[in-house]
Amino acid sequence: MQATETENHSHLSNGDAAPETGYALPRPYYTDPDIYRHDLERVWGRNWIWVGHRNQIPECGDYFLFEVGQESIIVVRDAEGAVRAHMNVCRHRGSRVCLEASGNARSFTCPYHAWTFGIDGQLRGGRLMPDGFDRTVHGLLPVRVLDFQGLLFVCMASDPPPIEPALARLAPLTAPFGFAGLKVARQASYPVPANWKLALENYLECYHCAPSHREYSKSHSLKDPAAMTPELVGAMREKSRAAGLSTEEIGETGAAASGLGTDLYCRRYPLFPGYQTGSRDGTGIAPLLGDLKSYDGGATDVQIGPLNNFLVYADHMIGYRFIPTGLQSTDIQTVWLVRADAEEGRDYDLERLTWLWHVTTLDDERIIRHNQEGVNSIHYRPGPLSTMEWGIVDFHHGYHRMIE
């Protein structure tokens, strides 16, 4: 392992790959397998990752799998009602223990040699082991779990970053949306042949929105800073207060310096006049979230840590993940959430609910794919970033702190 660390660090310190502030990253950051392995260990292995909602596993034994890179995690509700997470790796010879993506189980039995683990992760049975074998030290490896207003996060590190102070600041801003009372209406996967950083960087800027997202740009003023006039923002804020929303904003990155231990961002911005939510015709598409009294014609961007992004309208929420599955293979996972008591076909139509971010993510898959194709060229040179790409600059600062 030490040799790998040294090798990875030499790649990151190579003069040909030295990044420049305010510019795109050099080619090796998107093409070098050693840097990719370093990303999995230092970024994905040591940060909090949003994996789902507590309402996905309401009963004892309900579980789902979450996979990133070569890792697989079992997220399960235990007999005491707590949410636990375990590495999906048998403590005998390493087989995957749980093979189904979701379900309900009283225990997990390895399909190789039938070692059986309780939903609490403890080893219950291992056949024909020698005298002195101690079952208590061979349970499934635990993974840290954090529940923020119903949103479940996991961290595979033994010393995860201290995210709680950041969430305490965020909590009053998101409380009116009633995150705990949401349910997953749909999840969709959009594989893209590109490095995960290109996919995430695309989400962190709207410089591309006007030329690349025709449907999105009809309703979202974020496409153009000039469109967010004081009059438009002021009108939305008046409506936000009337609806029961806070107008406070949080925008802190490089959080190691601030003591929060994670990046944190929360900002509500206006949709264009005539749009109440992110729908094709601008009209509402689901019951209002939480305690909201009315539509305010806005949308809230929320970032929790460097890897977790959400977009919250008055009547539904979108969660975005950009999960690495290979050096140049990423699974863009889009999750739509609505009120838990909303009934499909009565309170919302699934096609109307998912239309905007389905077509927008298809656009993203296309432009990210072409981005990777160009970056793969030996003639690629990092170019300067626009003032609208400040989110990428912030990400790069945090990313380099994590990997070095």
Burial per residue of 248-267, b for 16 or more beta-carbon CB atoms within 10 angstroms, e otherwise: eeeebbebeeeebbbbbbbb
Please provide the average confidence, as pLDDT, over all residues in the chain. Answer: 92
Stretch (H or E) spanning 269: strand 264-270
Poorest-pLDDT segment among 74-83, 186-195, 253-262, 284-293: 253-262
pLDDT bin (cut points 50, 70, 90) of residue 16 is low
Q: Does residue 8 surpass a pLDDT of 60? A: no
CATH number of the domain at 161-403, out of 3.90.380.10, 3.30.70.3270, 1.10.3720.10, 1.10.1060.10?
3.90.380.10
Strand pairing partners for 384? 23
Helix 196-203 vs helix 350-375: angle between axes, to the nearest 10 degrees? 120
The residue-averaged pLDDT of 291-302 equals 96
CA distance 13 to 404: 9
Higher pLDDT, 142 or 3: 142
Compute CA distances 119 → 33, 81, 136, 145, 391, whole Å. 35, 11, 14, 15, 40
Confidence of residue 252 (pLDDT cuts 50, 70, 90): low
Q: Tell me how far apart the alpha carbons of residues 402 and 43 are, in angstroms, rounded to a whole number.
A: 6
Report the distance separating Cα 29 and Cα 17, nearest Å.
Answer: 8
**Over residues 6-32, mean pLDDT:** 73
Residue 289 — left, alpha, or beta (φ > 0 → left; ψ -120 to 50 → alpha)?
beta
Given a cut of 90, is residue 17 above it in pLDDT? no
Residue 187: per-residue pLDDT:
97
Between 94-103, 218-227, 253-262, the lowest mean confidence (pLDDT) is in 253-262
Average pLDDT over residues 268-292: 97
Q: Give the pLDDT of residue 259.
A: 38
pTM: 0.92
Cα dihedral 114→119→120→123 (10° resolution)? -10
pLDDT of 18: 74
In the three-class reduction of DSSP (H, G, I as helix; E, B as strand; rest coil), residue 52 is classed as: strand
pLDDT in tens, 236-250: 999 999 999 999 998
Q: Which amino acid is located at 63 in the chain?
A: Y
Instruction: For the chain, give every domain's residue range.
Output: 49-145, 161-403
DSSP string, 153-209: EEE-SSS----HHHHHHHHHHHGGG-GGGEEEEEEEEEEESS-HHHHHHHHT--TTH
Q: What's the pLDDT tens digit per position in 317-353?
A: 999 999 999 999 999 999 999 999 999 999 999 999 9
Position 261 pLDDT exceeds 70: no
User: Where do runs of H (alpha helix) occur along 213-313?
Assistant: 214-217, 230-243, 255-258
Percent of the chain with pLDDT over 70: 93
Rounded average pLDDT over 73-80: 97
Query: Residue 19 — very low, low, confident or very high, per pLDDT cuts 50/70/90?
Result: confident
The CATH T-level fold of domain 49-145 is Rieske Iron-sulfur Protein (2.102.10)
Per-residue confidence (pLDDT) for residue 14, from 0 to 100: 46
pLDDT at 10: 45
Asked whether the predicted pLDDT for residue 28 surpasses 70, the reply is yes
Q: What is the pLDDT of residue 214?
A: 95
Bigger pLDDT: 304 or 404? 304
How many angstroms separate the CA atoms of 373 and 151, rounded?
35
Average pLDDT over residues 202-226: 95
Tokens at 397, concatenated: 């600062």
Torsion of CA 257, 259, 262, 267, to 10 degrees: -90
